[in-house]
Amino acid sequence: NSKAKLLPLLLFEASADTEKLTTLAGYVERMRDDQEAIYYLVGESREAAERSPHLEAFSDKGYEVLYLTDPLDELVTQVVSEFEGKKLVSVGKGDVELGSKEEREEAAKERQEREEASADLLGFVQRTLDEQIKEVRLSSRLKSSPVCLVGGEHDLSPQLERLLQRSGGGAPRQKRIMELNPDHPIFAQLSARFEADRDDPLLVDYARLLFGQGLLAEGSPLPDPAAFAGLVADLMVRCGAPAA
């Protein structure tokens, strides 16, 4: 059929080469032995995609990622769900499971244990941001960034959602999943402050700052830029104040 004829002709930017485009077949040839999917990331540009926190675990483990920078690219993935038996998977959606079977099982077990230990804090963040997000969880895709926002497996990317809204397509605003990096110093400080005083009003500010940071990192607009700027200014004043 026509789809089978066209698929080998598609060209994409990819993390493996900054100069040359790649075909899906070329990507599959370079896949790691333990890799089961073709990974891609939707972004406004290559530069924006390369800076995305969603890539951190993939870069850390050496997985190549396709960059879908044309607004129509994501529509292609709605039609083309796999190539040569390899499923196309967005690194900005769902859970991240990388490495061998044993590595994935060990990572899942560790994350579950840490989420159980941090359940009260995650619940607090969820209640604070309930109008903006649908879930808070610890991340297995973040390595250096404190936070990112991800979609469910069947959600639109933020880029396609904005495109449909601008074109009058009437796409509803989707709630995202907030992922927090349990190994980041910000999470450690947030946890310590929460354990010291669960009614500390600054905890609400920190939760809102993290949500704003997640939006900015993916290139999404802030719902209230003035309020976010005020929170940042307050934080700078507190951090700059001399110790008592």
Residue 212 to residue 232: CA distance in whole angstroms: 10
Supply the DSSP symbol for 147: E
**Cα atoms in the Cβ-side hemisphere of radius 13 Å centred on 234:** 12
Query: φ, ψ for residue 157 (rounded to 5)?
Result: -70, 160
CB neighbours (10 Å) of residue 7? 16
User: With contact defined as beta carbons under 8 Å apart, do 161 and 93 qualify?
Assistant: no
Q: 181-217 pLDDT, tens per residue? A: 999 999 999 999 999 999 998 999 999 999 999 999 8
Q: What DSSP string describes 65-103? A: -EEE-STTHHHHHHH--EETTEEEEETTBS----S-HHH
Give pLDDT, residue 240: 63
Q: 28-51 pLDDT, tens per residue? A: 999 988 888 999 998 888 998 899
Give pLDDT, residue 76: 79
Residue 178 to residue 170: CA distance in whole angstroms: 24
CA 173 to each of CA 31, 80, 124, 160, 165: distance values in angstroms, whole numbers, following the listed order: 35, 25, 23, 11, 9
Give pLDDT, residue 171: 62
CB neighbours (10 Å) of residue 41? 22
User: Global pTM?
Assistant: 0.88
Residues of the chain with pLDDT below 50 are none
